[in-house]
Amino acid sequence: MNKHAGSTIADAFAQSPNGKAFIPFITAGDPTLEVTERLVVAMAEAGADLIELGVPFSDPTAEGPVIQDANLRALRNRVTTDDVFAMVGRVREAGCDVPLVIMTYANVVFSYGIERFAARQAELGMGGVILPDVPFEEKAEFSETFARYGLDVVSLIAPTSHERIRAIAAEATGFVYIVSSLGVTGVRSQITTDIGAMVRLVREANPSVPCAVGFGISTPEAAARMAAVSDGAIVGSALVRMIGELGEDCVGPVADAVRAMAAAVHSTDNGDGGVCP
């Protein structure tokens, strides 16, 4: 039994307005862990349906320079995995039950212990983990343990996944993280990938799993466009850049940005080419 009340990833999509989830990402411990704690609560109050928390890592290979710098700032603060879990515990004790997932790398989970990591997440009422450096073929090493605790290891698909999309989607739980562009995370002026086609492939293989699009989204308009052809939008670098620029004064402006993007996502329908039920 979980000590803390929380919500699952499925809840985030099922309970989101219009069935569209807005998912912000921040790096835990940047600029400080206390500010991260305030940000989680503020973003939940501003309309975030699910929040991704990055556990700092020294070699975040999927990240662009903005989030790399955030990892370095958090590491200079000596933020550990246990510190992040303790912060989540305080958020839960304060009554914030927003669905939370951790985004980090395989080495972080390995060094902590897969079983111990999953057990701690379950105790805190979290939804699971995103591991961008773990390929589909090696996912079971993590997902089998996490599943025993009722947690999801979120699958990622990229424009280069091609014929693997169906196989990845067929076994996906929680949601499918659609990587909108080639390369690392970061703000992009234009996303040219045919997201609708990727979503259709996922739907054919697994009609029940939601799809959310991330990498490169930075404005309410872009978030709404992505949500129109999927089940949600993920925004990271645009928010992390604000945190890096504003430091401890970031909470209000980040909450305002989340509020605007969440409202845009929640107001979308499936539009032209939308495939979600």
Mean pLDDT of the chain: 89
Q: Is 159 exposed, middle or buried (0-12, 13-18, 19+ CB in 10 A)?
A: middle
Strand pairing of 128-130 and 152-157? parallel
Is 234 within a domain? yes
Give the number of C-alpha atoms closer than 13 A to the C-alpha of residue 167, restricted to the C-beta side: 8
Query: Does 252 score more than 80 pLDDT?
Result: yes
pLDDT in tens, 129-144: 999 999 999 999 999 9
Q: What is the CATH number of the domain that holds 49?
A: 3.20.20.70
Summarised one tens digit per residue, pLDDT across range 26-45 is: 999 999 999 999 999 999 99
pLDDT of residue 192: 43
pLDDT-based confidence at residue 60 (cuts at 50, 70, 90): low
What's residue 19's pLDDT? Answer: 92
User: For residues 188 and 153, is the Cβ–Cβ distance under 8 A?
Assistant: no
Residue 16 has pLDDT above 80, yes or no: yes
In the chain, the percentage of residues whose pLDDT exceeds 70 is 88
pLDDT of residue 88: 98
Calculate mean pLDDT across residues 179-196. 58
The answer to the question of residue 106 being in a domain is yes
Whole-prediction pTM value?
A: 0.90
Phi first, then psi, for residue 163 (nearest 5°) are -65, -15
- Range of the structural domain that residue 74 is part of: 9-153+217-266
Q: What is the pLDDT of residues 90-116, one digit of tens each?
A: 999 999 999 999 999 999 999 999 999
pLDDT at 91: 97
Total structural domains in the chain?
1
pLDDT at 223: 95
For residue 156, name the pLDDT band (cuts at 50, 70, 90). Answer: very high
Q: Is the pLDDT of residue 277 over 60?
A: no
Residue 201 lies in a domain: no
Instruction: Tell me, yes or no, whether 208 lies in a domain.
Output: no
For the segment 15-23, the average pLDDT, to the nearest whole number, is: 94
pLDDT tens-digit profile of 195-249?
888 999 999 999 999 999 998 899 999 999 999 999 999 999 999 999 999 999 9
- Contacts within 8 Å (CB) and 24+ apart, 57-60: 57/104, 57/105, 57/107, 57/108, 59/105, 60/105
Does residue 250 sit within a domain?
yes
**Residue 265 CB-density burial (10 A; 0-12 exposed, 13-18 middle, 19+ buried):** buried
User: What is the structure's pLDDT at 3?
Assistant: 57
Report the pLDDT value the prediction gives residue 4, as an integer from 0 to 100. 56
Q: Is residue 203 in a domain?
A: no
Residue 185 within a domain: no
The answer to whether residue 187 sits within a structural domain is no
- Give the whole-number percent of the chain exceeding pLDDT 90: 78
What pLDDT, on a 0 to 100 scale, did the predictor assign at position 160?
A: 78
